[in-house]
Structure 1
């Protein structure tokens, strides 16, 4: 009958063999993937599954500015967050119509 020490040694040897077999299988898989990439002209981005970016749809137009800071000529379209220059002016008591273009 084998004792615990012998069984643990066998277990360690098997785990080492498993790790080596996994490394060899991984190296083979990487070599196969590299050869297929070279054969078909693929890149890492192709493998990541990212679709190529589509060009912008025609007909989209830039929104014209609706408000302008007379001191700095900075503009704002009226969309999104108010810029800091406009927030500061509104806090001083000016109205939005003071900056309309």
Structure 2
């Protein structure tokens, strides 16, 4: 019977092989997806994605956003935990009034 350390080494080796296989297959999968998108005229927006990783302009709560943070973050100002950027603004002694939309 193999020892624990031997089995862990084998598991790590298999995980490395699996990751390499995923990377090897990724390029062909992406190429196939792009070809099908071109064939059917599908855009990233059709899939519900956004271009460039930018925010869609909606807040998580579904309520309309009242504040826009320094990096474009949106906040509706509702109950619950305040976003980090809001806490940072308030901690610095500033008012949220300058962040109103």
Give TM-score scaled by structure 2 length: 0.39
State which structure, 1 or 2, has the greater radius of gyration over its C-alpha atoms.
1
